[in-house]
Amino acid sequence: MRVLTVNAGSSSLKLAVLAGDEALAAEELEVSGDGLDEDRLAEALRGMDGIDAVGHRVVHGGHHLTGPVRVDARIREELGALVDLAPLHQPKSLRALDAVGRALPGVPAVACFDTAFFAGLPAGAATYALPREWRERYGLRRFGFHGLSHAWASSRAAQLAGGRAGSRVVVAHLGSGCSLSAVVDGRAVDTTMGFTPLEGLVMGTRSGTVDPGLLLWLEEHEGIPPREVADSLEHRSGLLGLCGTADMREVLRRAAGRDADAALALDTWVHRVVTGVGAMAAAAGGLDVLVFTGGVGERAAPVRRLVAARLEFLGVRVDDDANDLADGGTDADIGAGDARVLVVRAREDVEIARQVRQVLGG
């Protein structure tokens, strides 16, 4: 079965055709503020022969869509009803789903959810300590995100580590968006993102976790409207808010040149990752394997070195030579301590294709 995987991002649409785990064709289309150019999409798809099925990355599956599902009119309607839970991401996924459906009529489509990997979190990890009536009326819980990446990276890590050696895995998905997960025997038991992708680590433009009382203070005492607070937390915080750039490469360059703002940004970012890994290891009952994935995790050897240096108490150490050589876009073992330390190339496309075959029986 040849599966077309469709990954809609904020400014691009990634397409790939996979037979097994092998990519036969791939293309990335720019997406402007006006939306997706369907003529350009149709042209790209004409160059991708023999598509048997389509798998779409969809950010939010809500409470009921907790695994991959074939898209029909009812499912499409349900996905549309979830836009309020992910207003920045869900509409992009749905525009891509509709556009590809028009370009490939009759080809079965499967929605694969970023939240699904975390749907089975233990109750203690999924629950907010909020009034019962809020939790029940509004469905408030920790959903978790980046699940397709965490699912692939944890399964690949277990494969590379071999058997029981990889049973307690912490995945660090580090890019413009950042999250951690704790995975025991293939099952997620905790993660850093919550009801929205704002919770958790410091990110490129997103704040990560802040005291909710601070936000209430800004609204009540300074009169900042909720919409402005939300926009600032999503688009003007994180590394950008700390030092004026969301690009980790620039942060590293400036920090090495003793730029005080960049040094603070890097230290804050690393601190949150390190303390987060400690929390995930506690949730997993220990640490056998630490996995770095995502754009920063895969391609920033200095970042991996800084994080590992503060995790030696968990048996994490990196071989400096192996770490420096691991920025080439291939999976690598860079560990030199008791815990395995792996760099795993993000392959959401492979995870999506596998889930499509699972649903369609291919």
Active site residues: 114
CB contact at 8 A, 2 and 18: yes
What long-range pairs does 126-133 form, CB within 8 A, spacing at least 24? 128/194, 128/195
Edge-first strand order for the sheet with 109-113 is 22-30, 12-19, 2-8, 53-58, 109-113, 69-70
Direct distance between the N- and C-terminal alpha carbons of the chain, in angstroms, rounded to an integer:
6
CB contact at 8 A, 325 and 299: no
CA 154 to chain centre: 13
- Report which DSSP code applies to 143: -
- Report which DSSP code applies to 312: G
The residues that bridge with 58 in the sheet, in sequence order, are: 113
Q: How many CA atoms lie within 13 A of 64 on its CB side?
A: 6
- What is the amino acid identity at position 81? A
d(CA 158, CA 169): 8
d(CA 206, CA 198): 6
- For 226, 235, 316, the CA distances from 231, given in Å and listed in that order, are 9, 6, 37
- Report which DSSP code applies to 318: B
The residues that bridge with 32 in the sheet, in sequence order, are: 35
